Every structure is written in C-alpha cells, then in structure tokens.
Amino acid sequence: MSQFELQDELNHPRTDTPEFTQMVERGLSRRRFLGASAALGAAAFFTMAPVSRSLAAALAPSGSPLLGFKAVPASTADTVIVPEGYQVERLISWGDPLFADVAEFSNQLSQNTAANQKRQFGDNNDGMSLFPVDEQTAILAVNNEYTNYELMFEHQGKSMTAADVQYAQAAHGVSVITLTKQAQGWRFDKNGRFNRRIDANTPMRISGPARGHTLLQTKADPKGEIALGTFNNCANGMTPWGTYLTCEENFNGYFGSDAEVSQSANFSRYGIGAADAGYSWYRFDQRFDLAKEPNEPHRFGWVVEIDPKNPEAMPVKRTALGRFKH
C-alpha cells in the first residue's frame, strides 16, 4: 500500500456501515416528495390569485455582484495574494511566544523544546472564532490541527525521539490569544490575561453519556472521567454563552503499535489500526500504543468545549454531541 493509499485509508476508512450521506439521502427523498407536492399546491393556488405576479416579484432575488471585489489571478507564488483595496498582515505565527517570559522560536530547529512550545503559538491553523470583550479587547481561539515533521525537525521525522514526540504533542491543540486595538490596528498582546495553550496532554473532563463507560477506561484513568489532550482539531464553533467548540478530526492517525492489534468493529469504523499516519507517538508514549492502551482512541474524536475567558477552566469533552471525526 502506497503512502497516499495509507493516508487515504486512515482518513476515510472503508466499513460495512452505511455512509451518513446515504442515510441522509434516503431520509431526504421522502421529504423532497412531500416538499415538492406542497410547493406545487401553493403554486397552483397563487397562479389563480390576482396577487400572484406581485408576490413572485417580491420574492425574486435581486441581481447584485457576488462580493463586490475584483478576483485575484491564479498564482503559484509562495505568498498571500488579496484583491485590490485589501491588505494582509501577519498577526501571529507558529512558535511565537504567548507570554513575555517564553523563549522565541529558534531557526536552529534542535533548540526548540516541548516546554517552550507549550507556551508558544501552535502549528497549522484551522478553525477559529473571535470573542469580543470590549471595544479595545478581543479573544481569538485557534485550532492547531497537526504538525509538519519536515519543517519541525532537522531529521524531518525520520529518527524521532521521546523529546521530539513531546514537542510535537505540544504543538497540537488550541491557542487562545488576547488581541488589543492599537494605533496601527489589532495586535496580539503578549501580556494579555486570556492567553493560553491547550495541547495533546492538557487534562480534560469527560461529560455526557460516554463518561465512565468501560470503553473510555484506561490504566491511567480507570474511571473513564478525565482525558489527556486534544489534537487534529479541525472544525469549530462558538456557543451562545460565549464558549469555544473545537472538533477532533482524524485522531486515528496518531495511534498504532508494533505488536499485533485486534481489529474490533469500533477500530474499523474509525480507521484505527497498527499503522499510524507517521507521527510515531505510540513508539514513545504508551497511551498511543494500541496493544498497551486499546481504549485510549475512544477518548478522542469528540467536540471539546473551552471557556476562552477563563484560562483556568478545564476543557470539557462533550460526548452528548457525538463523535466528530470528519
């Protein structure tokens, strides 16, 4: 199996379970019929009514340009290109310190450590949400989905160590940063009181129907109530009460084993198997070794709720919202 095929299988496991889209399609087919019937009935009524033309005109969409800016030409340049009249500025980058007492990211890659990364901005941004505080302050919560070993390590991931794995784990998760409005615009505040890093080892409370279930119980957490970390954070959202929701996507690629692994239906459904996606976490952190902690994968793939305004609040895995591998 090629590396592409392996990655594709990890991200899109083949199972005998009907795809969600198929189930939705079956459910919608009946709704489409009922909806079309209702629409035809309404149309017949209005074609006989003298107000039909004026109603149709009122409901018709008005013509307007799409978004009102000139499209940019296709380009292969290694830069961000924006339309005329717009500008782009860098707000924060991977490895930037989130606190005044943290070391700067080093271009000598071997000098970067997990201890520093735990207090630096994470890698590979994905979903994000902005939380206004007042006219001069806002909070930005950003998913840090994954890492690129070819950029992170001089050995490009070919000779991983325990320290390397800890560093990579620290670069995953979520970064919460404070923004302040200054004369030159909105800027990241290194002294902001909301700054926070949440990574692959941050303690998280498990809530909802799966809390305490036998499938979530491990040697380190025999009650199945406290999980460590979040990673491969992709989708996101925000609640009406002002908290951040981050969704764990392809968590299966972080688990593996050099030993033979029993391929249960639960594992097959989520693409979990002895071959990982190349992160090598299981080689140095036994909770990712399926032969040693077969229940650990069940503690990921959830929606995690984070309070961006309280850096001391423990994140919560909301199992009532279901798994969110997507």
Q: What does the radius of gyration of the chain's CA atoms come to, in whole angstroms?
A: 24
pLDDT along the chain (326 residues), means of 10: 54 60 61 58 51 49 68 94 93 98 96 98 98 97 98 97 99 99 96 98 99 98 98 97 98 96 90 96 98 98 98 98 89
pLDDT number for residue 263: 87
Residue 107, φ and ψ in degrees, nearest 5: -70, -15
pTM reported for the whole predicted model: 0.82
pLDDT for 18 equals: 60
Residue type, 295: N
Say which amino acid occupies 58: A
pLDDT of residue 23: 59
Burial class (CB in 10 A: 0-12, 13-18, 19+), 84: exposed
Q: What is the pLDDT of residue 73?
A: 93
**Strands 244-248 and 185-188, how do they pair?**
unpaired
Residues 116/103, Cβ–Cβ less than 8 Å: yes
